[in-house]
Amino acid sequence: MIKEDSTEIVLKPIGIIRTPYRGNYAPYQPLEREEGEARLILKPEYHSALADLEKFQYIYVIYYCHLIEESWQARICPAWAKGKEVGLFASRSPVRPNPIGLSVVKIKKVQAGEVVTNLIDAYDGTPLLDIKPYIKELDSKQDANYGWIMEVDGYDHLLLHIRGIAHKD
Site for its own copies, residues 126 to 155, rule: CB under 8 A:
126-127, 129-149, 151
- Give least dist CB 13 to its own copies, A: 5
- Give least dist CB 47 to its own copies, A: 8
Contact of 72 with 88, CB cutoff 8 Å: yes
User: What's the rounded Cα separation, in Å, for the pair 163 and 169?
Assistant: 14
Residue (38 or 149) nearer to its own copies, CB: 149
- Give least dist CB 90 to its own copies, A: 4
Give residue 44's Cα distance to chain centre.
23
Site for its own copies in 105-124 (CB under 8 A): none
- Give least dist CB 63 to its own copies, A: 10
Contact of 59 with 133, CB cutoff 8 Å: yes
Does residue 39 interact with its own copies by CB under 8 A? Answer: no
Residue (11 or 36) nearer to its own copies, CB: 11
Q: Would you list the DSSP string of 52-94?
A: TGGG-SEEEEEEE-TT--SPP-SEE--TTSTT--EEGGGS--S
Residue (20 or 87) nearer to its own copies, CB: 87
Site for its own copies in 49-88 (CB under 8 A): 49-53, 55-58, 60, 62, 64, 66, 72, 74-75, 86-88
Site for its own copies in 5-24 (CB under 8 A): 5-16
CB atoms within 10 A of CB 17: 25
Give residue 40's Cα distance to chain centre.
13
Ranges of beta strands (E only) in 75-160 are 75-76, 86-87, 100-111, 114-117, 126-133
Tell me the number of residues near its own copies by CB under 8 A: 76
